[in-house]
Structure 1
Amino acid sequence: MERRALVTDPEQHAATLKNLERAAGRMATAAIARMDENLSWYRNMPPEHRSWIGLVAQAGIAAFTEWFRRPDAPQAISTDVFGTAPRELTRAVTLRQTVEMIRTTIEVVEEAIEEVAAPGAEEALREAVLVYAREIAFATAQVYAQAAEARGAWDARLEALVVNSLLSGDADEGVLSRAAALGWGSPDNVMVVMGSAPAGDSELVVEAIRRAARHAKLHVLTGVLGSRLVVVVGQGRKQVDKNGQEKPWDPIPAARALIGQFAPGPVVVGPTVGDLLSATRSAQAAAAGLRACSAWPDAPRPVLADDLLPERALAGDQTARQQLVEEIYQPLDEAGSALLDTLSVYLEQASSLEGAARMLFVHPNTVRYRLRRVTDVTGYAPSDVRSAFTLRIALALGRLQAG
């Protein structure tokens, strides 16, 4: 930006410049003293940060002197003033505090105009201070904008690293510290939601997920990994009912609050776990469910990974196979051979009570009772088509494992 010479008389300009150079140190000291007197946040800062702020104030007055010397020359005020401070200072000092610091320094310089300006150059110097104040305000905004962009890019990389570690099973204590640096709290319920990422800028997708999560009062860590959008979701403290009993968390409403940000196609919700490190299990289950979801075209959206256990088992997911055996076959086996035999015959007889009763030489009510017991033991109702499919796969896997 071109600037006109603010003091047109060369002699006045030279005299004012000489006075500025002579008074720079004194004005910097006065500015620091006034900050210490008027700004409580400055007084409470660690000595290291106070010293850096003092250097910034000194650099600001020195940069003004140089700017006044050659107002037409292009200069990078942000580099001249803030280049002396470490990048960490933008974290320790907020933009509002920086504005207060600059305002205090400018006030000290303005108060010294009558003393510093050569006779007849007071108005010109005052105008110079006003113009410089505007320039340094823009420079301050630029410094904090650049810092925010850099911090945002770094946070995005760190967040993607955390999500990838959970997905790959490499989560350790380091993941907790990285997540804490990203603002992740300690929610009692954690799950992973996974689906296809929409086309377009991944940063916009991630920001849309964050907005939706804030609206739903959810904690999230998210990242676009290849073609997949992965969201680690946390819900605050455990909820209790009026009797003081813990209420189970339903993950589906939380997933629905975020589902609009996914591309068309299946969205799978991993099982709920108690902490971030355990979210590896949820992430791997969600990934396995997403791979197997094509085998169930009518699956709801979103769908729980545990509702996809039979498809996951058929796709070769060993965890799903073991879960079906442990949660269905083994409890039925332990409950007595009558339940296993009745369930097996019922499924083979196309879910016919009468047909199963004839094959077992029992009354249909006995079959009905045993099937209710199957539901009590496993949570799956043999009369439901989807549950019957899951039970059939579990029986087959259990028998194979039993040899």
Structure 2
Amino acid sequence: MQEEVPARPGSRRREARGTHARVPVHPETVARIERSMGPLGTAAITAMDERLPWFRKMTAENRSWLGLVAQAGIASFVDWIKHPERIRPAATEVFGTAPRELARAVRLQQAVEMVRVIIDVVESQVDTLAAPGAETDLREAVLVYAREIAFSAAQVYARTAEARGAWDARLEALVVDSLVRGEQQESLNSWASALNWSSSPVSVLAGTIDGDDAEPVIDELRAAARRTRLDLIAGVQGGRLIVVLGGTDDPMTSAEKLAGLFGPGPIVVGPSVRDLRSAHMSARAALAGLRVAPAWPDAPRPASSDELLPERALDGDADAVEILVTHAYQPLLAGGTALLDTLTTYLEQGSSLEATRRMLFVHPNTVRYRLRRVTELTGYTPADGRDGFTLWTAIILGRLAARRA
């Protein structure tokens, strides 16, 4: 026969409780704790001040609120042990004592540390608070209450985070919509402040999104931006993914790191601007470039909006026309008739140095010198096919503008 193993002391009592019932705390224990609520609250605040450096650095107002939270926690514990029929303590009321703004000043990790200190204070006085022989029941009640109050803190912070996330998403959509429409609202500053945005310079990226669910993509973009210490606001406008990047002096390099999160097709990077209020100019350039990008199938990914100036100008983009006329045609015109004639002839002759020399009756070195001068004045190299196309477009636009004038 198998020998019967005697049960451990107390095991039958715990088995009888099950997982959903609690053994009532002795009435005398409850009375003792009720009489000690004031001193317990004071002891908890003193312990927080001694053990939590972040608590000592808080403002007097926030310290006062946390003192109320500590007292509410002890009061909730007393109420819970007085009513053993309750499965869980009404612990949400503990954190509901403080204003919602306190959740921003106190992180979840700090809230858990605070709960640990309060529970330690109560647990350290179990022998004094419990009725004779009831110490174990009180100690077990403290442990259960500590677990439930920690879960409650997590729930409060989770709800706050969800509400904050939903509000931030609406604000981001509002900012992106304003930039796409080209608005310069004063409220952009307040919106940016609400999003903790203070970065400069700012650049806007425009591309496509793969699929209908934008949230996971935008979350990944935010995570990637955080890893490179950049600020990011993103939104979807009619199938276009608009990303506002802040804090980068090299938006092209930053865009290359984010390109894999965009959908298929071109990505266009607008020029850097001073701040968020000026970002509508970068957004306008990026969206204009995205619109005409199919005209340049071999465009790099990402491409800058300036690389697409010829296509944008041909599409009727007034900004692109002005840039090409101001920064390419007018410097050529100021360089002298010979310079402009040499470039025009060179482009008409299929970028042939020898044919240009013969047409102009000059030495080949003269042609080379003038072409180098074109590069110095405009930043474009006539011998490069893409740059030559841009210069040719600028000359045409400049001539048309001069005729209209």
In structure 2, the CA distance between the partners of 1:311 and 1:19, relative to structure 1 (3 Å rule), is: same
Distance in 2 (alpha carbons) for counterparts of 1:26 and 1:365: 96
Paired residue for 1:95?
A: 108
Matches within 5 A, 1:156-305: 156-171=169-184, 174-187=187-200, 189-199=201-211, 201-235=213-247, 250-305=250-305
Q: Identity across aligned pairs (percent)?
A: 58
Paired residue for 2:21?
A: 4
Contact 1:382 1:388 in 2 (8 A): yes
Contact 1:2 1:72 in 2 (8 A): no
Contact 1:77 1:135 in 2 (8 A): no
SS in 1 for 2:36: helix
Contact 2:88 2:148 in 1 (8 A): no
Which residue identity lines up with residue 22 of structure 2 in the other structure? A
| Pairwise CA distance, 1:258 | 1.4
Question: Which moves more between the two structures, 200-209 or 290-299?
Answer: 200-209
Are 2:360 and 1:348 equivalent residues in the alignment? no
SS in 1 for 2:301: coil
Distance in 2 (alpha carbons) for counterparts of 1:14 and 1:365: 107
Question: Which moves more between the two structures, 137-146 or 152-161?
Answer: 152-161
Distance in 1 (alpha carbons) for counterparts of 2:93 and 2:161: 20
Distance in 2 (alpha carbons) for counterparts of 1:398 and 1:367: 22
| Pairwise CA distance, 1:402 | 0.8
TM-score, L = length of structure 1 = 0.85
Contact 1:271 1:305 in 2 (8 A): yes
| Pairwise CA distance, 1:268 | 0.8
Distance in 2 (alpha carbons) for counterparts of 1:41 and 1:356: 76
Contact 1:15 1:118 in 2 (8 A): yes
Paired residue for 2:14?
A: none
Deviations 1:100-149 (A, max 9, x none): 32223223322443344334333212211111111111111222222223
| Pairwise CA distance, 1:339 | 2.2
| Pairwise CA distance, 1:323 | 0.7
Contact 1:6 1:127 in 2 (8 A): no
In structure 2, the CA distance between the partners of 1:44 and 1:349, relative to structure 1 (3 Å rule), is: closer
Are 2:136 and 1:123 equivalent residues in the alignment? yes
Contact 2:92 2:153 in 1 (8 A): no
In structure 2, the CA distance between the partners of 1:371 and 1:100, relative to structure 1 (3 Å rule), is: closer
Contact 1:155 1:182 in 2 (8 A): yes
Paired residue for 1:49?
A: 62
Matches within 5 A, 1:74-113: 74-75=87-88, 77-113=90-126
Deviations 1:369-401 (A, max 9, x none): 433332222222223221222122111111111
| Pairwise CA distance, 1:41 | 3.3
SS in 1 for 2:79: helix
Structure 2: unaligned runs, 5 residues or longer: 1-17
SS in 2 for 1:221: strand
Distance in 2 (alpha carbons) for counterparts of 1:375 and 1:117: 89
Distance in 2 (alpha carbons) for counterparts of 1:39 and 1:252: 45
Paired residue for 2:3?
A: none
Paired residue for 1:394?
A: 394
Distance in 2 (alpha carbons) for counterparts of 1:132 and 1:156: 36
Question: Which moves more between the two structures, 73-82 or 376-385?
Answer: 73-82
| Pairwise CA distance, 1:267 | 0.7
SS in 2 for 1:263: coil
Aligned-CA RMSD value: 2.7
Contact 1:3 1:72 in 2 (8 A): no
In structure 2, the CA distance between the partners of 1:2 and 1:24, relative to structure 1 (3 Å rule), is: farther
SS in 1 for 2:84: coil
Paired residue for 2:9?
A: none
Contact 2:80 2:89 in 1 (8 A): no
| Pairwise CA distance, 1:182 | 3.5
Distance in 2 (alpha carbons) for counterparts of 1:371 and 1:30: 83
Contact 2:205 2:269 in 1 (8 A): yes
In structure 2, the CA distance between the partners of 1:203 and 1:78, relative to structure 1 (3 Å rule), is: farther
Which residue identity lines up with residue 6 of structure 1 in the other structure? V
Counterpart pick for 2:162 among 149, 152, 164: 149
Paired residue for 1:241?
A: none
| Pairwise CA distance, 1:152 | 2.7
In structure 2, the CA distance between the partners of 1:32 and 1:213, relative to structure 1 (3 Å rule), is: closer
In structure 2, the CA distance between the partners of 1:252 and 1:101, relative to structure 1 (3 Å rule), is: closer
| Pairwise CA distance, 1:328 | 1.2
Contact 1:184 1:219 in 2 (8 A): yes
Which residue identity lines up with residue 311 of structure 1 in the other structure? E
SS in 2 for 1:266: coil
In structure 2, the CA distance between the partners of 1:218 and 1:57, relative to structure 1 (3 Å rule), is: closer
